[in-house]
Amino acid sequence: MSRMIRKQIYLHAEQDALLKQCAEALGISEAEMIRRCLDDVQRHTGSPLADRQAWQDELAFLHSRAERLEVHPQPRTWTREELYAERT
């Protein structure tokens, strides 16, 4: 296991009570409870840098698709009602 780093934090009274209750229920220390919560956050959200890169990749993909779209400079010549009339 890697070296532990000591942290001092401030909690609201309700958070402190919840931390104590959860740690006691699981039979672990309050510090271990905090570490597990942080691990859960990382598991569910992933790395912020990885997420940012994923969004940049998605944006680049969307731009490449938009460049290939056929542009119609002429306004359409039909109406929705005309389309529905053709179906009946």
Query: Where do the structural domains in the chain lie, given as residue ranges?
Result: 13-72
Q: Which of 13, 15, 19 is nearest to 32 (CA)?
A: 19
Per-residue pLDDT for 48 more than 70? no
**DSSP letters spanning 1-13:** -PPP--------H
User: pLDDT for 51-88, tens place per residue?
Assistant: 778 888 889 998 888 888 877 677 888 888 888 887 77
Q: What is the pTM of this model?
A: 0.51
Q: What is the distance between the alpha carbons of residues 23 and 27, in angstroms, rounded to a whole number?
A: 6
